[in-house]
Amino acid sequence: QVQLVESGGGLVQAGGSLRLSCAASGSILSINAMGWYRQAPGKQRELVARITDGGSTNYADSVRGRFTISRDNAKNTVYLQMSSLKPEDTAVYYCNADVWTIFARRNDYWGQGTRVTVSS
């Protein structure tokens, strides 16, 4: 099994910053892409940012220039540095990882989510 554990969410004022972390552990052989998604109340889950094992990144238009995704392959950890936060960034943020397990299976895994609330 593979577990993703997120941390770093919380309450912040508009214009502030937060850094999310997500550590993967368990029966991991290798991790392909890792990403962050978010789901606001009453809305569908959406991609925020994604990073490949080679370091290529892509971002949602709404966060490009304000958020930065990075990863530490040695630690199986992905980060999301969020700056210039806006009230519309309020959501539950979920970590995602595309993992090859030691059992030669490739699966998609999700974290439990961490809540980010941006007050105006």
What is the per-residue pLDDT across 66-103, written as a single tens digit (0 to 9) for each?
Answer: 999 999 999 999 999 999 999 999 999 999 999 999 99
33's tokens: 């892409």
Tokens of 41: 């109340």
Whether the CA torsion 10, 82, 77, 43 is positive or negative: it is positive
Q: What is the mean pLDDT of the chain?
A: 97
20 burial via Cβ count (<10 Å: 0-12, 13-18, 19+): buried
3-state secondary structure of 76: coil
Contact 88, 63 (CB under 8 A): no
With pLDDT > 70 as the criterion, what percentage of the chain qualifies? 100
